Amino acid sequence: MLPYMPPGNDIEFVLYDLFDAETEWAQIPAFDSFDRDTVRAIVTECGKLARDVMAPLSQSSDEEGAHWNDGVVTAPEGFKDAYAALAAGGWLGVSGNPEFGGQGLPKMLTASLEEMFWGANTNLWLYATLTVGAAICVDAHADEDTRRLYLPKFYSGEWTGAMALTEAHAGTDLGLIRTRATPRSDGHYSITGTKIFITSGEHDLVKNIVHLVLAKVPDAPAGSRGISLFLVPKYIPGDDGLLGERNGFESASIEHKMGIKGSATSVINYGDAIGYLIGEPNQGLACMFTMMNYERLSVGIQGLGLAERAYQMSSSYAKERVQGRVPEGSRVANTDADAIVGHPDVRRMLLTQRAYNEGGRAFSMYVGLQLDRAKYAPIEAVREKASGFVDLLTPVAKAFITDRGLECTLLGQQVFGGHGYIREWGVEQLVRDVRIAQIYEGANGIQALDLVLRKVLRDGGATVGELIDDIRQTEVPERYTAAMDEALNAWQEVTRWLCDSAPSDSNLPGAASVDYLDVTGHVLYAWMWARMAGVSGSTDKRYVADYYFAKLLPRYYSLVASIRGGSASLMEPSSDWF
């Protein structure tokens, strides 16, 4: 596998040229100490760790995979030292609460750090990212004593986290879970049941693994209204943080998967395990969504990180691989063939990768910016507006970026041709590793349905309209204004059509949702590209922006037509017909 190169220069461009981070952070007391030199140092050090420590283990960890032996799970060779380097550098606590040892970095910045970790070694970063999400959930919903005990351990990397939601019969529909939480005499609970697909639920990188488990207490309301959230550590810690007795759960097996083979995904059996209630009884799903929404943006960035690595590999290969004569332009004298980078179709694939990757980088950091404003902006109206944008854009960030991630890794494989199908080159691993990102943390079809039902129809398209108004107020180069206006009008009109038509067709939201999410993503990326081309001092961004507007943005035409096609053609055949 070719070396990974951290995109530090482009990250700085997005932070400072596109989003004017200096001005943005100067308005937020929590961020006013993050000057440009400090941020450059953080990005540089993150890139070095990703490139020099994590990336060299990516292909070997895929070849070796994680190991299971009678409940003991072992990560691939080299992971323990690499994870220790992540922990020692404080990288698990970069977004954490400073009161408990976190660094409190802006989410707009940490989104870019995650991209490098995902791109360098998705298998390894999966052991860490669940810890970051668990810390966010505990910080938001646990009591003070629990926060003081667990958060410093999470931020230091001494303990890791895991999220235990799914059961064999209950994936998306968590209201069907059967795991039970029975009150104990000491005020805590006994957790009994089985969870599947538990990423990093058991491994040997640290001594203690803390599960956040969804379960139902006795006499809980039916469905999702009766779910509670429990903190279930592998070893029970004392108030001083020292580990005591082993808790009552174990890994029954690990999954044999298409990709992310170095990441241990366990079936976990809980047998009277001690659990500590987080938040109020029957409010567990609301608490867990704090973690899940973080993970959804993070998983979107997984798609971006892997797609960026695929572009780097295919771009390098295309400039070296010699096949055929280019139709016109520079031909190498005294040779029988030219580098394939000169062929129009290869350029199509490379430009598509670059357009979606750099657009995705800008978009993910824009969502991070809205998260920062929602939490820290000194003006309440700004916080409320940003919070609405976060709710609207989180499913788009998860689904659109990961769908493009698969598309771009497949394009990278196609550039390699037959060599892309061979394990030796490593690009086929990226295809396999990115595929799960469309499935876990809420499958992309569910993200699209959430966008349409809960975010668009619920407020009659008001938040979409507010975002479109914001977009119209930004300055973009004149060469893109007509296409931008046309795309915004189409998005606004199809939103209005959906809101008007859905009440009389209960199947329409489900029939239109994936197409609607793709319209949203394509228009938002166009906005990112128009803005980037406008603020860039080089032709690099303009080249890609021109390509995006000419070749990729027009995809929304057919998507809008498909949405307006309604649901009848989907629903006319009976279920037996399939």
Amino acid at 128: A
Residue type, 153: K
Which residue type occupies 164?
A: A
Residue 328 CB neighbours (<10 A): 8
Rounded Cα–Cα distance for residues 524 and 528 (Å): 6
Of the candidates 12, 250, 441, 478, the residue annotated as catalytic is 441
How far are the Cα atoms of 26, 230, 272, 560 from residue 249, in angstroms, in the given order? 47, 14, 8, 49
Tokens of 300: 């979107």
Show the 3-state SS of 81-138: HHHHHHHHCCHHHCCCCHHHCCCCCCHHHHHHHHHHHHHHCHHHHHHHHHHHHHHHHH
Residue 298 has which token pair?
């993070």
Question: 273 in helix, strand or coil?
Answer: strand
Q: How far is Cα 429 from Cα 299, in angstroms, rounded to an integer?
A: 17
Contact of 461 with 496, CB cutoff 8 Å:
yes
φ, ψ dihedrals at 195, nearest 5°:
-115, 150
DSSP secondary structure code for residue 565 in this structure: T
3 state SS of 44? helix
Residue 567 near residue 510, CB atoms below 8 Å: yes
> Active site includes 24?
no
Distance of CA 82 to the CA centre of its chain: 22
Return d(Cα 400, Cα 411) in angstroms, integer.
16
Residue 165 corresponds to which tokens in the numbers above? Answer: 């939601």
The owner of tokens 């668009």 is 456
Name the helix (H) or strand (E) containing 362.
Answer: helix 344-376
- Number of Cβ within a 10 Å radius of residue 570: 13
C-alpha–C-alpha distance, residues 361 and 498, integer Å: 29
Joined tokens for residue 147? 């926060």
Per the document, the length of the chain is 578
What is the crossing angle of helices 380-416 and 284-320, to 10°? 40
Q: What is the DSSP letter of 474?
A: S
| Single-letter residue type at 557 | Y
Residue written as token pair 């509670």:
228
Residues with a catalytic annotation lie at 441
